[in-house]
A = this chain, B = another copy of it.
């Protein structure tokens, strides 16, 4: 039975109608829903409108689309959050603040066992280790403690990390295909507190990130942010 959709962006009206039918169990969890062509005919709109509405609902985990098998209401929608992780300079300047960074430490040395394993290095292999403080309007924004796999990116050893941060050099020069990110809360050590301008023990948002190019580990980094810092994700 054809149903008149309310005015407004047509694909949003389609989404509202699909969601209403899921909410009232016309289409219960796991149910196969009609195809795009049938829905376009029922709602009296273009197939592209149905397609856009369904694509967004699939990205949000409300619907599950399978080639040939059609579209189902998700049985147990796993919810998601997509975090953007831009270059640190961009994070700072996007909020209208002046960016600066200091190289605190640089060495080529064998990493501790946990880092060695993450970078897939043989025991005794040296890697590039750099620690930087990133600033926004002169104030501490982030401590970056990074290891770079010199087997994968040998040219990193000759980069002037006081002039360009390891973060920025990697983003500009080294494409990455895969990343694992871990977020947690950590209490500031004495050194971290001094660097970030907060009391020792203050809660810091910690981001640990390992990145690969294909199956080759490139770099692993631990980022620390002062109290009040937030990472925002959207779906």
Chain B nearest CB, measured from A81 CB (Å): 4
Once bound together, how far apart are the Cα atoms of A179 and B228, in whole Å?
A: 21
A86 pairs with B81, CB closer than 8 A: no
The A196-230 residues at the B interface (CB cut-off 8 A) are 201-206, 209, 211, 213-215, 225, 227-230
Flag whether A158 is at the interface (Cβ < 8 A): no
Once bound together, how far apart are the Cα atoms of A81 and B90, in whole Å?
A: 17
Once bound together, how far apart are the Cα atoms of A204 and B202, in whole Å?
A: 10
Flag whether A184 is at the interface (Cβ < 8 A): yes
Contacts of A202 on B, CB cut-off 8 Å? Answer: 187, 203
Q: Which of B23, B172, B203, B213 contacts A175 (CB 8 A)?
A: B23
B229 pairs with A171, CB closer than 8 A: no
Flag whether A104 is at the interface (Cβ < 8 A): no
Flag whether A174 is at the interface (Cβ < 8 A): yes
